[in-house]
Amino acid sequence: MNATTARILVADDDPTAQLLFRSALKIFGYEVSVAADGADALRQFRSNPFDMVVLDIDMPVLNGHQVCAALRSEADPLLPILMATGMDDIKSVEDSYREGATDFISKPMNWALIGHRVKNLLRGHKTMLDLRAAVAHNAAILQAIPDALFEIDGDGRFLNYHEPNLHLSKEPAGETRIGKTMAEVLPPAAAQVCMAALREAERFGASTGKQFELQSSTGNCWFELSVARKSTETGQQPHFVVLSRDISKRKQAEHKIQQLAFFDSLTGLPNRPSFLKRTEREIKRARRSGQQFALLFADLDGFKNINDTLGHAAGDKALQWAAERLSEAVRSNDPIAIADESGGHAEMARMGGDEFTALILNIASAQDALRVAQRIREVMRKPFVLGGLEVALSVSIGIAIYPQDGDTAATLLKNADTALYHVKQSGRDNFRLYDTVFTTFARQRLELEADLRQALERAEFSLVYQPQIDVASGRIQSVEALLRWHRPGRELMKPSEFVPVAEECGLILPIGRWVLAMACADAMQWQSEGYPVRIAVNLSATQFKDPELLPSVLEALANSGLPAERLELEFTESAVIENTAGTVSALQALRESGVQLALDDFGTGYSSLSYLKRLPLNNIKIDRSFISGLPDDVESCAIVHAILAMAGSLKMHVTAEGVETSAQAELLKNMACDQLQGYYFSKPVTAAEMTELLKRNGAAAEQAAP
Ligand code: C2E
Ligand code: MG
Ligand code: MG
């Protein structure tokens, strides 16, 4: 509105007053319209509203009060209305204000002042309009801000409050926060954060970034505060403007990123990097407090089998199961759980594959860790159903204790892993504490492996031979080749000390080929000297699985010239049982080449009769452990009887291993065992010594013949 062009309506029934108003206001540049009575004034205003209205009180049709009341009910509430009242008519002044008048001038008028009065009122009106626009503007801005905005005093008391409709911390309908403190309105933790932000703003003028969490029916929400201290009169308590932003979405995103970086997506457990960090933290804490804790390293036994036979989806399911069970065992609320006894707690992680770790904090002794390991073992044993099949998993666990087994996360983990390795080596499904001996052992093993790699080319292997006596004729019917290693600087080594290592590092294949060639050559030599004995050669599981086995057997036969039926291959049950599908056809192919097949160490493995039936075997060798019980141990006798009866029905020959006494030999002869082998007849001897044995045995047999 421009002051010079303001439009003013003057209502007065006195023509002289009309004239004087008009000229007095025109001097100030206003545009003046005149109404002669109240009804005329309303009519004119309605057809084209004015910036200000001046009303005489006594007018025909409608008096000034009535017009004032009408305008107040229909015009802009800020419209300035000036009433002209009698000088001493106090009641009329009061009535005017009651009807909504802005101001009054008293009659008789001072016409020289009236323009100033109007100008002043219009200026006030303009200020009011500006203020109203500013308030509207601010309201619109607030509406556009998605955050809650409030003002509080130094005690945290709400002075005013704005919050958008969808704000999750919105005050319940019908309740107001105004006048209440934050401590009354918010949960203690949130109120504490808000007050801390307030104190910071009090000192430094502003505070940003403080966050707090609130529970709501739709889930938890996070808020971030920006607080500004408001300038107040000196000596007055400061006020604060607080902006509270809903950052729940950002928090969710941060959480997700955190999850991806530090958690395993399959099981939801922390992953390797976060476990290592956690362990480092615990080391610092334990160092300060002088406490001990245990690091458990668990590996599922036979998991690879599940993955290979039932598929990866089943494998994943099994891992989730295992993770749940391990957590259950480690964190159990059961009163025997160490975690509850000591007031400490445990942290689980998945290291990758089927490897899991746990920290058992604040233990009193290694015994506490062993108890948790035992619990884990028991819980894991319960079978679970996978794709309709009942599957059982067992677990092997290695344990390292801080501080005795290491003072960094990496060392503790490595040592727990070493202990785990030893559990795996000694039959799995068990647990073990780390022992420094393991490290010595590991070094020795590495040396052994290194020496073994050179043993073949350095010609450090040799074969010894042990005769197998045919019960019916009393003659040496066959000879078993047994491997020896002349390791430099050491005593002669037996196969049990190095064959498992050779198996693990793949050296058993070239070594096995050497044994075959050597044994066939020696047997051929005996044959050419007139002692056509059969030669028995031991094969390990790895050799049995080798697709090159048959070709290498044929090659050894061809190179030596030994007839195939003079070669017997010995397998242990575990070697043939591991690979059921391919087993029968592999054995069949060997049989078709003409060689004989023997099952070694029978009775120590699965010994399933129905399974044996399907294998094309010639010979079953009863393990030494049963023979050593003869003739007195009733159970051993029964077992040997049973094996002989079973083999008879399957038309297989039976060899008794480890015959050490004449009583055992007598009994086995009476039981109609086919062949005997053992120290009673001869210890394993060199090839040259074997030649001598054959000469004597052959001569004895000839003498015995009719
Ligand atoms: P095995 O095939 O069961 O061989 C019999 C083992 O019992 C031999 O031990 C032999 O010395 C021992 N023995 C024989 N008679 C008696 C007896 O009356 N009393 C006692 N106490 N022991 C007796 P060795 O030579 O230490 O061989 C151990 C095992 O190593 C063999 O058991 C066989 O499984 C394996 N092995 C031997 N040579 C080879 C080989 O060339 N290749 C592979 N893969 N394994 C072999
Ligand atoms: Mg053998
Ligand atoms: Mg044996």
Q: Is the CB of 499 under 6 A from ligand 1?
A: yes
CATH of the domain at 677: 3.20.20.450
Q: Are residues 354 and 228 part of one domain? A: no
Q: For the chain, give the percent of residues with pLDDT over 70.
A: 93
Asked if the structure places residue 703 within a domain, the reply is no
Single out the residue in 88, 110, 140 at which a domain terminates: 140
Any atom of ligand 1 within 6 Å of the Cβ of 616: no
One domain for residues 20 and 52: yes
Residues 126 and 174 occupy one common structural domain: no
Residues 134, 150, single domain; the answer is no
Most confident of the following: 172-176, 309-313, 602-606, 642-646: 642-646
324 lines ligand 1 (CB under 6 A): no
Sign of torsion, CA 512 517 520 523? negative
Locate the ligand 1 atom nearest the alpha carbon of residue 539 and give its number.
Answer: 44
**Confidence band, pLDDT 50/70/90 cuts, at residue 130:** very high
How far, in Å, is the centroid of ligand 1 from the Cα of 452? Answer: 19
Q: How far is the CA of 433 from the centre of ligand 1 (A)?
A: 33
- For residues 167 and 228, membership in a common domain is answered with yes
* Ligand 1 in reach of 538 Cβ (< 6 A): yes
Q: Which atom of ligand 1 is nearest to the CA of 464?
A: 25
> Are residues 441 and 463 part of one domain?
no
- Domain presence at residue 260: no
Are 414 and 460 in a shared domain? no
Residues 10 and 106 in one domain: yes
Among protein residues, the one with the nearest Cα to ligand 1's atom 13 is: 658
Amino acid found at 144: A
CATH of the domain at 344: 3.30.70.270
Number of residues in the chain:
706
Cα separation, 295 vs 417, in Å, equals 10
Asked if residue 650 and residue 523 are part of one domain, the reply reads: yes
Query: Is 660 close to ligand 1, i.e. is its CB under 6 Å away?
Result: yes
Closest ligand to the CA of 601: 3
Query: pLDDT at position 607, please?
Result: 58
The reply to whether the predicted model has a pTM over 0.75 is no
The verdict on residue 353 lying in a domain is yes
Q: Is 462 in the pocket of ligand 1 (CB under 6 A)?
A: no
Last residue within a domain, chosen from 229, 252, 275: 252
Q: Cβ(597)–Cβ(653) under 8 Å?
A: no
Which ligand approaches the C-alpha of residue 468 most closely? 1
Beta bridge partners of 24: none
Tell me the per-residue pLDDT of 365-374, one tens digit each, with 9 for 90 and over: 898 999 999 9
pLDDT at residue 321 is higher than 60: yes
What would the DSSP string read from start to end of 197-212? HHHHHHHHSEEEEEEE
* CB distance 483 to ligand 1 below 6 Å: yes
Are 136 and 150 members of one domain?
no
* Interatomic CA distance for residues 176 and 71, integer angstroms: 35
Q: What 3 state SS string does 16-76 have?
A: HHHHHHHHHHHCCCCEEEEECCHHHHHHHHHHCCCCEEEEECCCCCCCHHHHHHHHHHHCC
Q: Running DSSP on this structure, what letter comes out for residue 344?
A: -
Per 3-state DSSP, the chain is made up of helix, strand and coil in percentages (nearest 5) of 50, 25, 30
Residue type at 603 in one-letter notation: G
**Is 285 found in the same domain as 245?**
no
Lowest mean pLDDT among 38-42, 299-303, 511-515, 681-685: 299-303
Ligand 1 centroid to residue 418 C-alpha, Å = 30
Do 152 and 130 belong to one domain?
Answer: no
Distances in Å between the alpha carbon of 257 and those of 252, 262, 320?
A: 9, 8, 22
For ligand 1, whether the C-beta of 658 sits within 6 Å is: yes
Q: Ligand 3 centre and the CA of 601: distance in Å?
A: 4
Pocket perturbation via mutation, ligand 1, pick of 522, 538, 553, 572 by most ligand atoms within 8 A of CB: 538
For residue 653, what are the β-bridge partners? Answer: 619
Residue 305: per-residue pLDDT: 80
Contacts of 520 (CB under 8 A, 6+ apart): 535, 556, 557, 559, 560, 562, 567
601 in contact with ligand 1, CB cutoff 6 A: yes
d(CA 567, ligand 2 centre) in Å: 13
Does the C-beta of 664 come closer than 6 Å to ligand 1? Answer: no
Kindly state whether residue 257 falls inside one of the protein's structural domains: no
User: What pLDDT score was predicted for residue 333?
Assistant: 37
Ligand 1, residue 543: give the atom nearest the CA: 44
User: H or E stretch including 627?
Assistant: helix 624-627
Tell me which of 419, 446, 473 is where a domain ends.
Answer: 446
Read off the pLDDT band of 297 (50, 70, 90).
very high
440 in a structural domain: yes
Structure confidence at residue 602 (pLDDT): 87
Give the residue-averaged pLDDT of 182-191: 90
Asked whether 603 lines ligand 1 (CB < 6 A), one says no
**Total count of domains within the chain:** 4
Query: How confident is the prediction for the chain on average, in pLDDT?
Result: 88
Chain segment 74-115, per-residue pLDDT in tens: 999 999 999 998 767 888 889 899 999 999 998 888 888 899
Residue 295 covered by a domain: yes
Domain span holding position 336: 267-446
Q: What was the pLDDT predicted at 655?
A: 97
Q: CA dist 248 to 168, 218, 222, Å?
A: 10, 12, 5
CA atoms of 434 and 408, how far apart (whole Å): 15
Domain for residue 702, yes or no? no
What's the rounded Cα separation, in Å, for the pair 381 and 392?
6
Residue 393 Cα to ligand 3 midpoint, Å, equals 30
Residues 492-547: pLDDT tens digits? 999 999 999 999 888 999 999 999 999 999 999 999 999 999 999 999 988 988 88
Which run of H or E residues covers position 585? Answer: helix 580-592
Which atom of ligand 1 approaches the CA of 684 most closely?
Answer: 11
Q: Is residue 262 part of a domain?
A: no
Other CB atoms within 10 A of residue 177 CB: 20
Residue nearest to atom 41 of ligand 1 (CA): 483
